[in-house]
């Protein structure tokens, strides 16, 4: 992509200096940086993280953040939508260079890809109808880390299991929530896997399933829709362990330069409050990672 002529040499100078300040071992030099386009994939169906807006354009927390990070990295970014269940195989197949799609950093995924970040923490919860007995789920408002407070977290999970016994729970396939449901809730409750969170929300509204297990921020997004005014977010927020270490940028393992660039840009964006500001804009709560 050629540099727009009106920006001129000053811009070029700033770019070169900017790159030098990054102190990066980026494979591309100042001149090449103008040519470099990074393709970032998002799901486009995970409001308010990333979704397709009324005009058919991609919008959301991650779209804003991606644009900010790209500006910091002085690269041109193209954001594309990709179905969630093929998002990692397509990254390794080089259809794009990075994933920003509310993807939690897990050991399982780290076997295949690498992550920069995290750029957000990922609280979890259950979405249930207010009238359902599940609305009185124990542990609501509490937070446990499976990695660091395993005993307490497992006690909280047992309390949840006692309530969801015999119920049907919807999760999005290929997510940390699906893995969690497989490991802890299978056999106690019936687990159904959906392609998108929108699909399990529809089935919850239709009464085909009793609860949805998902990311709390995504549930908050759902609760804003008028159809879900009689629904409520309940249950403990369990993180860590197989639920991952926050949300990060998925990258190919060999792209260590890009990882470094992203890490530096994320650190800068967290530090100057950009991530907090964007989180409050989209989620109403600050879920920026605590450094």
State the residues that interact with other proteins by CB under 8 A: 85-86, 88-89, 92, 108-109, 112-113, 173-174, 178-179, 192-195, 199, 202-203, 205-208
Which lies closer to other proteins via its Cβ, residue 34 or residue 179?
A: 179
* Cα 44 from Cα 89, distance rounded (Å): 17
Which lies closer to other proteins via its Cβ, residue 108 or residue 158?
A: 108
Q: What is the DSSP letter of 84?
A: G
Which lies closer to other proteins via its Cβ, residue 8 or residue 86?
A: 86
Which lies closer to other proteins via its Cβ, residue 160 or residue 169?
A: 169
For residue 243, give Cα distances in angstroms to 40, 107, 136, 215: 23, 10, 23, 10
CB of 208 to other proteins, least distance (A): 6
CB of 178 to other proteins, least distance (A): 7
CB of 14 to other proteins, least distance (A): 39
Q: Please name the residue that has the structure tokens 């309940």.
A: 234
Which lies closer to other proteins via its Cβ, residue 181 or residue 247?
A: 181
- The Cβ-side half-sphere exposure at 212, using a 13 Å CA radius, reads 31
CB of 174 to other proteins, least distance (A): 3
User: Any bridge partners for residue 172, and if so which?
Assistant: 194
For residue 163, give Cα distances in angstroms to 62, 77, 136, 166: 34, 46, 9, 9
The rounded Cα 139 to chain-centroid distance in angstroms is: 23
CB of 164 to other proteins, least distance (A): 18
């Amino acid at each position: 992509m050629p540099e727009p002529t009106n920006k001129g040499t000053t811009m070029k100078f700033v770019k070169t200096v900017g790159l030098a300040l990054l102190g990066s071992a980026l494979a591309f030099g100042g001149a090449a940086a103008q040519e470099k386009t990074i393709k970032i994939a998002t799901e486009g169906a995970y409001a308010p993280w990333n979704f397709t807006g009324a005009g058919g354009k991609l919008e959301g927390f991650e779209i804003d953040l991606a644009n900010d990070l790209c500006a910091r990295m002085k690269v041109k970014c193209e954001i594309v939508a990709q179905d969630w269940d093929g998002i990692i195989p397509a990254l390794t197949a080089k259809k794009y260079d990075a994933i920003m799609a509310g993807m939690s950093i897990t050991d399982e995924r780290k076997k295949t890809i690498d992550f920069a970040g995290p750029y957000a923490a990922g609280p979890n919860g259950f979405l249930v109808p207010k009238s359902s007995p599940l609305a009185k789920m124990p542990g609501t408002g509490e937070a446990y880390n499976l990695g660091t407070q395993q005993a307490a977290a497992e006690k909280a999970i047992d309390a949840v299991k006692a309530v969801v016994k015999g119920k049907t729970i919807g999760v999005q396939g290929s997510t940390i929530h699906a893995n969690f449901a497989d490991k802890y809730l299978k056999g106690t409750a019936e687990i159904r896997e959906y392609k998108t969170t929108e699909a399990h929300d529809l089935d919850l509204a239709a009464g085909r399933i009793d609860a949805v297990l998902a990311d709390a921020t995504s549930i908050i997004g759902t609760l804003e829709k008028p159809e879900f005014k009689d629904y409520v977010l309940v249950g403990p927020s369990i993180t860590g362990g197989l639920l991952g270490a926050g949300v990060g940028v998925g990258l190919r393992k060999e792209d260590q330069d890009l990882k470094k660039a992203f890490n530096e840009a994320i650190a800068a964006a967290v530090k100057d409050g950009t991530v907090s500001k964007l989180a409050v804009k989209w989620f109403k709560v600050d879920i920026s990672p605590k450094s």
